[in-house]
A and B are shown apart, each in its own frame.
Chain A
Amino acid sequence: MSKTDCATDCCSAEIMAAFINRNLEGVNVAGIGAASQIPWMGIRLAQATHSPDLWFFWGPGSAMNSKFNKMTFGVDHRMTLGAESHMNMSIGLDLFANPRFTSWVLFFGGFQIDKYGNVNMAYIGDQKKPKFRGPGTLGLMNLAFRAKIFLFTGIHNPRLFVEKVDFISGPGYLNGPGGREKAGCLPGGGPRFVITPIAIFDFDEETKIMRLKSVHPGHTVKEVLEKTGFTPIVPKNVPETEPPTVEEVAFMRSLDPDGILPKLTA
């Protein structure tokens, strides 16, 4: 396996996809919604390398193991090409609290994420006359259920990473330890990672606060702290995020002939 030089050989989105790939070992099903090209790339890479038994669930069309092998800008129904099963939205929705869902990983984002991994996709301000109207909660309530969640973003700035979200569309650890349990969440769910164009976070076991796990090549801890609107937990030693190998980058680019991946992060 040959190492890449991230200054020249790969982009942020590829680093993010490579991290996702590495962390899907042992997972039964990985599911995505809309605007999820980076997780898609990580999942297809995992299926092609260490996890051929990994199931890929394409949420928008409720299809399993799509084999459409070209990255597209948006969601379109060609993604159902080569699917192995399909269901309607009603049955798809009923999957999300299935007791066996603890073997799933789901990918989500939003326009606000706070230090406990709570996610907002609804609005900022008053419900009747919001200051900022987002599209809506959609399937983010899945964060309350039993699947493991990987959060991912296309940008990293203090307007996205806030001290406290204005509206909890997707519950992370709410207001800290015990928060999920008090709200009746069953064990096993909640966010595990926050994957951004400049860093990876996980969650401190005790305080449930976002903890800086690694910084991508070419970026610094100082930069991450400047661009984050709260103070995450910063361990004494913060390693560099492991970049993708040359082979992994070649594979990703073979699935992205239109060169969309580099445009997905700012």
Chain B
Amino acid sequence: MREAMEAFETKRKSKVVTLEEAASMVKDGMKLGLGGMMSWNGPNAFVREIIRKGAKDLTLIPTNVAGYQIDILLGAGCVKKLYMSYIGFEFIGFAPNFRRLCESGKLDVVELDEEGLLQAQKAGGIGVAFFPLPDGMLAVDTVKRNPDWYKVVEDPFTGKKVVVVPPLRSDICVLHAGKCDPYGNAQELGNPETLLYRSADKVIITAEEIVPLENTMANYRGVTVMGSFVDAVVEVPFGCHPGECSGYYTLDQGHFRKYIEAGKTEDAFKRYLDKYIYKLKNHEEYLEKIELAKLISQLKYRY
């Protein structure tokens, strides 16, 4: 019996690839789901990699409250269409590229609220025709102004009006987790991105550390992504910078302020992209560029 189990484990195929290999799975024109809420757990190193590769015409599907991971793709000209309920940097400020592109009419935005975005992702993951929203949604202007997304139907049981939204799926979604084993079982210490990964045709996990299967089994109740859904796993330490990786390091407020300043004009942002993406070869050079060795103490989680 033990030999059979060991044989199973040695024959099991690892999904671990390099960041470059994973980034090449994202093709122009794809619908790309991106994890990361507030300034936490965004797959930011992955996003910088696809910018470096010159990704184009993407449709982005974020979480309900997204920031850098979306805004930088907008600033780099990679995005054709954006589903959103919130794009901003919370207390640090407005998302500069999002604001600039919208105010110049250059972005196709699907203006949703949390229900309209997340319940559509849920519908996309559970395989239903549409998802009903609670009573009262007719009072919200996202519903009134987006009749392509929010439809009004009759409740077949009571005859009442009900607002419904369609399923929303991505071609690929990318999440950043604290730990992931080689088979895709991931432990996210922040908000689990269940809705995103269940509604994606392919899933990439970038992780602070790749852990052995023993770690997964000892912590199976903390595993938030089922490995069977995962197509590629990449080890990317400090992969969330300048954002926080819950449980590992906090956000780099100084870098966010620099970013927002750079986002004020197209030229300033081009210089930012050159400095932190185009003139660098890979994530390791990025970590040198931000002088991680000096930052590490400042970014430590202090209670």
Contact = CB atoms under 8 A, between A and B. Distances in A.
Contact of A34 (B38, B224, B250): B38
A185 B118 contact: no
Interface string A169-184: 1110010000110011
Interface in A53-75: 60-62, 68, 73-75
B114 A168 contact: no
Given A141-B140, A183-B138, A77 B244 contact: yes
B91 A137 contact: no
Contacts of B68: none
Contact of B103 (A97, A131, A186): A131
Indicate the size class of the contact surface on chain A.
Answer: 35 or more
A100 interface: no
Given A77-B190, A144-B137, A129 B105 contact: yes
A144 B118 contact: no
B134 A167 contact: no
Indicate the size class of the contact surface on chain B.
Answer: 35 or more
Q: Is the interface of A mostly helix, strand, loop or mixed?
A: loop
Contact of A77 (B111, B161, B246, B253): B246
Nearest to B195: A90
A93 B250 contact: no
A214 B257 CA distance: 38
A127 to B, nearest CB: 6
B136 A183 contact: yes
Contact of B139 (A75, A134, A180): A180
A61 B37 CA distance: 9
A128 B39 CA distance: 27
Contact of A137 (B138, B142, B247): B142
A78 B303 CA distance: 7
Contacts of B63: 89
A62 B191 contact: yes
B46 to A, nearest CB: 20
Q: Which of A77, A130, A138, A171 is the most central at the interface, judged by chain B CB atoms within 10 Å of its CB?
A: A77
B161 to A, nearest CB: 6
A135 interface: yes
A171 B113 CA distance: 12
Interface string B239-257: 0000010110011010000
Contacts of B244: 76-77
A184 B114 contact: no
Nearest to B119: A93
Q: Which of A97, A138, A185 is the most central at the interface, judged by chain B CB atoms within 10 Å of its CB?
A: A138
Contacts of B227: none
B135 A185 contact: yes
A3 interface: no
B87 A136 contact: yes
Contacts of B122: 90
Contacts of B194: 88-90
A26 B301 CA distance: 36
Contacts of A128: 105
A123 interface: yes
Contacts of B105: 128-129
A144 B104 contact: no
Interface in B174-208: 189-195
A81 interface: yes
A199 interface: no
A35 B192 CA distance: 21
B167 interface: no
B149 interface: no
Contacts of A261: none
B281 interface: no
Interface string B79-101: 00000111110111011001100
A122 interface: yes
Nearest to B256: A74
Q: Which of A35, A121, A133 is the most central at the interface, judged by chain B CB atoms within 10 Å of its CB?
A: A133
16 contacts: A61-B191, A73-B91, A77-B247, A88-B194, A89-B63, A89-B64, A89-B192, A93-B64, A97-B134, A130-B103, A133-B102, A135-B88, A136-B113, A137-B113, A141-B116, A144-B137
Given A76-B40, A169-B142, 6 more contacts: A89-B37, A89-B64, A135-B86, A137-B113, A141-B114, A180-B139
Interface of A: 34-35, 60-62, 68, 73-78, 81, 88-90, 93, 96-97, 121-123, 127-141, 144-145, 167-171, 174, 179-180, 183-186, 189
Q: Which 6 A-B pairs have the closest CB atoms?
A: A144-B136, A135-B88, A97-B134, A129-B105, A171-B139, A183-B139
Interface of B: 37-40, 63-65, 84-88, 90-92, 94-95, 98-99, 102-105, 109, 111-116, 118-119, 122, 134-142, 145, 160-161, 189-195, 224, 244, 246-247, 250-251, 253, 301, 303
